[in-house]
Structure 1
């Protein structure tokens, strides 16, 4: 029996997408072989590849000025690849907004290629992050090569619900943990990236959506395999892409389309978040939700019980009740419920019911 999966990533995938893969695993469309056995240069695979790009382009209304690129290496590679491409001797600085652990890691990588500036940090004296900054707090260097921010912070459970305004400076976003939770204006971004393993598919493929003009600005004195422009010019087929992961992402995108698109997904995600945060607020004397209300993530709800021992008991008893992945990140502890797209409203209702019962038996 399948459990209710609240893992932070790799995370739950929609059952229809998995069932489709199961049914096509050994013989894809009568070809006599699995999709993972097909050449990435062959017409059978390329049709899947192009369909995934088309579905994503349609779903997000990606303008002709921008392009979808499939890469590997996850967010960690992007932390390095962005400054590798766009920090130059003439423009050695970029602004970084620090709102969590992953934005810290992105800044760390940028220091290998230039002199990035911490434009703002919301880290508290206890080294934790409980909010994202307001627009009024932002002071962007107009000469920066780009501004980088992380749209959702899985470790601490904070999220930008309104994207920052940065003037004419190119805006770069790490959207790994909330990409496709709702529709947004892609044209505002010079480049955004997301590992697929939250809302889009399995681990192994990273989606980049970038301005063609911005990619063309990238340095030409770095290896070709790290140049965004090279991958864009070759339709993400410069080298062998992660074909199975892209195929599975195609299945997930088709599921989103059949669900009603991103408008339907957003309604569902907001309902899930409202249910869970209402439970936390209802039992505020037992469950402590540290994130400021305006910064609460719709994707990752972080909370703490009165003691670490109770945190551990909660996660263990939840697992026995068929709910996996609720233990908080090792660096911050507590409990974390990840409410990605494949998690249903019914799944969250089950968690809330468990939380109500746990208060009665352990409060």
Structure 2
């Protein structure tokens, strides 16, 4: 059976080479006679995988020495709670910039922990754009600023981070981490669920300044403190060993394919291919995001009618295209083109879109 053209929003496509490597090693990892899933997380064989994954994250993202790389559980959604639990004081507000559903959920969790404010929002247009820097309400007295770098549901993405944020900057990068180079030193916390660009679901990467950990609040349960995991090399309790093994293999694949710079070039070409099919359709396809806020990870678009949308999705599935249904809050269609999605799949989708347009003028 040929591989599907996988445009799922997450869990998402993984590199074929990574899957084949895991398949080959599944019952006998590193000549142990066991699967990596069967190894003790205290064993030398597993710890080598674990430590190599952290070292690769540091190398590929140019993470400075004053940051920790942690491998946690609970997805990005647990970070919505853990961050304010540890770093939101009783008086200074957490400042949230709203660019989609996930930033709304992060704000909701913070509201249960302490004072918050909204420093910018695109909600009035159903999140078609990223707020301009000069429209943001930032203050030196903010406890921190929280952003979502890429918005999977709405197909928008922060194009850069070159701004005076006033307070420590926290970013949910679940859907675009390692899709491009970023200035890590501008952030105090970067966190990301792995299941879009880094590996399978089950592990969350947290990149956090050591000085921030030193100032976490008291009274937080042990397993929800960043210092607990920092001191234990993310081995305080049993980690998701297979997910970290897969993450390590994906990072090796990213390194072999040009690192963050290589991913950026690859992702630009892929997204340009699909956006061209939208822009050259004379309005048959309409992008949800404004052009200067377009995501290179999630291409969202609508068709002229619900009937045409249903026909498009049905025919697409028949032709091997998976995961193109848009989220219910936007409707239409969505092509998620994370790192592992190939140019060939994007070319095939663009070709299908053009043929469907020609057949339904």
TM-score range, shorter chain: over 0.9
Judged with a 3 Å threshold, the aligned counterparts in structure 2 of structure 1 residues 120 and 111 are, in CA distance, closer, same or farther, namely: same
**Given the alignment, which residue of 322, 345, 350 partners 2:348?**
350
Is the Cα contact below 8 Å between 1:196 and 1:249 reproduced in 2?
yes
Is the Cα contact below 8 Å between 2:90 and 2:115 reproduced in 1?
no
- Three-state SS of the structure 1 residue aligned to 2:179 is coil
Q: How far off its partner does 1:135 sit?
A: 1.1
Tell me the residue number matched to 1:123. Answer: 123
Tell me the residue number matched to 1:220. Answer: 218
Tell me the residue number matched to 2:84. Answer: 83
Is the Cα contact below 8 Å between 2:267 and 2:337 reproduced in 1?
yes
Tell me the residue number matched to 1:136. Answer: 134
Q: Distance in 1 between matches of 2:255 and 2:82?
A: 31
Q: How far off its partner does 1:90 sit?
A: 4.6
Alignment of 1:331-342 (within 5 A): 331-342=329-340
Q: Distance in 1 between matches of 2:163 and 2:146?
A: 12
Q: Does 205-214 or 330-339 show the bigger shift?
A: 330-339
Structure 2 unaligned residues grouped into runs of 5+: none
Is the Cα contact below 8 Å between 2:145 and 2:165 reproduced in 1?
no
Q: How far off its partner does 1:119 sit?
A: 1.1
Tell me the residue number matched to 1:49. Answer: 50
Q: Distance in 2 between matches of 1:37 and 1:313?
A: 46
- Three-state SS of the structure 2 residue aligned to 1:114 is coil
Is the Cα contact below 8 Å between 2:53 and 2:251 reproduced in 1?
yes
- Three-state SS of the structure 2 residue aligned to 1:124 is helix
TM-score of the aligned structures, taking structure 2 as reference length: 0.98
Q: Deviations over 1:257-306 (max 9, x none)?
A: 11121111110100111111111000042001121111000000100001
Q: How far off its partner does 1:313 sit?
A: 1.4
Alignment of 1:249-288 (within 5 A): 249-288=247-286
Q: Deviations over 1:185-222 (max 9, x none)?
A: 11110001000000000000000001010122111211
Tell me the residue number matched to 1:58. Answer: 59
Q: Deviations over 1:88-125 (max 9, x none)?
A: 2253x110000111100000000110011011111125
- Three-state SS of the structure 1 residue aligned to 2:286 is coil
Q: Distance in 2 between matches of 1:316 and 1:231?
A: 46
Alignment of 1:1-363 (within 5 A): 1-91=2-92, 93-124=93-124, 128-163=126-161, 165-363=163-361
Q: Distance in 1 between matches of 2:18 and 2:324?
A: 23
TM-score of the aligned structures, taking structure 1 as reference length: 0.97
Q: Distance in 2 between matches of 1:245 and 1:229?
A: 22
Q: Deviations over 1:26-73 (max 9, x none)?
A: 000110100011111111100000011111111111100111100111
State the number of aligned residues. 360
Q: How far off its partner does 1:168 sit?
A: 3.9
Provide the aligned C-alpha RMSD in A: 1.0
Is the Cα contact below 8 Å between 2:181 and 2:260 reproduced in 1?
yes
Q: Distance in 2 between matches of 1:173 and 1:82?
A: 11
Q: Does 254-263 or 30-39 show the bigger shift?
A: 254-263
Q: Where do 4+ consecutive residues of structure 1 move more than 6 Å?
A: none
Structure 1 unaligned residues grouped into runs of 5+: none
Q: Distance in 2 between matches of 1:293 and 1:314?
A: 23
Q: Distance in 2 between matches of 1:284 and 1:178?
A: 29
- Three-state SS of the structure 1 residue aligned to 2:198 is coil
Q: Deviations over 1:308-345 (max 9, x none)?
A: 12112111111111110000112321100001000111
Q: Distance in 2 between matches of 1:34 and 1:284?
A: 53
Is the Cα contact below 8 Å between 1:220 and 1:227 reproduced in 2?
no
